[in-house]
Chains A and B, each alone.
Chain A
Amino acid sequence: QVQLVESGGGVVQPGRSLRLSCSASGFPFSNFALHWVRQAPGKGLEWVAVTSYDGRTKYYADSLKGRFTISRDNSKNTLYLQMNNLRPEDTAIYYCAKSCGGDCYWELDPWGQGTLVIVSS
């Protein structure tokens, strides 16, 4: 059974950094691309980034390029999201999601339960 568990959320001051983690199990981690998606309180879903199965290819939402970095450690079955220079508008639940195998980036299934990030002074 595929399981994705996010962690690392919390309250952080504007301008500071935070690293989220997504621990995966139940599937061959190194064979699948992985996404981050966020959802601000009461708002819709916003795609953040995706990394290929080997971490060599990464795509980002234009609005987040330069501040957020997606990475993965296939030896630890863990996905990361490094968030720098955080802003109040980055306040959201951050979800990780598994894509399909190989060079497939268009699928997000399943999703983790999410971790809440609050950017506030």
Chain B
Amino acid sequence: QSVLTQPPSASGTPGQRVTISCSGSSSNIGNNFVYWYQQLPGTAPKVVIYRSNQRPSGVPDRFSGSQSGTSASLAISGLRSEDEADYYCAAWDDSLSGVLFGGGTKLTVL
């Protein structure tokens, strides 16, 4: 099963803005919503962006999502130490009839 492409790592200092990219194809990101999941160490993933650019209640407005063509991105502004986690993008793939996950990006707050 193919995956969506994310950078393996990203980093920033407190207060900075970081962006994590997610690249796919016309059968997944190009035609479906993108979801972003945050996974803190030892815990289950939690959605931070749904339907490409929507933020669940309880998720700080420092988190935002965007989508253009076959790519998507997650931006975190005003970086905080508690944002240090693994982040995964995901989208339904029409050709595979299944969910594809990105390989994950480990965000480090320096």
Give the B-binding residues of A (Cβ under 8 A).
35, 37, 44-47, 50, 59-63, 95, 105-114
Contact with B33, one of A60, A61, A106, A113 (Cβ below 8 angstroms): A106
Stretch at the interface among B19-27, B63-71, B98-106: B98-106
Contact with A44, one of B35, B50, B104 (Cβ below 8 angstroms): B104
Cβ B44 vs Cβ A111 within 8 A:
yes
Interface size on B, residues (CB 8 A): 29
A74–B9 Cα distance when bound, in Å, is 41
A59–B45 Cα distance when bound, in Å, is 21
Cβ A113 vs Cβ B44 within 8 A:
yes
A18–B88 Cα distance when bound, in Å, is 28
Closest to A114 in B: B44
Further contacts, 8 of them, CB under 8 A, given A45-B39, A45-B45, A95-B44: A37-B101, A44-B102, A45-B104, A47-B90, A61-B98, A63-B1, A106-B32, A111-B44
Q: Which of A50, A106, A110 has the most CB of B within 10 A?
A: A106
Cβ B101 vs Cβ A44 within 8 A:
yes
Cβ A111 vs Cβ B103 within 8 A:
no
Closest to B86 in A: A44
Q: Which residues of B contact A106 (CB under 8 A)?
A: 32-33, 35, 91-92, 99
A106-B32, A108-B90 known; A35 and B103 CB under 8 Å? no
Closest to B103 in A: A44
Give the A-binding residues of B (Cβ under 8 A).
1, 3, 32-33, 35, 37, 39, 43-47, 50-51, 56, 86, 88, 90-92, 96-104
Shortest beta-carbon distance from B1 to chain A in Å: 5
A61-B1, A106-B33 known; A35 and B99 CB under 8 Å? yes
Cβ B88 vs Cβ A45 within 8 A:
yes
Cβ A50 vs Cβ B98 within 8 A:
yes
Q: Which residues of A contact B3 (CB under 8 A)?
A: 44
Sample 24 A-B pairs with CB under 8 A, ordered by A number.
A35-B99, A37-B99, A44-B3, A44-B86, A44-B104, A45-B90, A47-B1, A47-B90, A47-B98, A59-B98, A60-B98, A61-B98, A63-B1, A95-B44, A106-B35, A106-B92, A107-B33, A108-B35, A108-B47, A108-B90, A108-B99, A110-B46, A111-B46, A113-B44
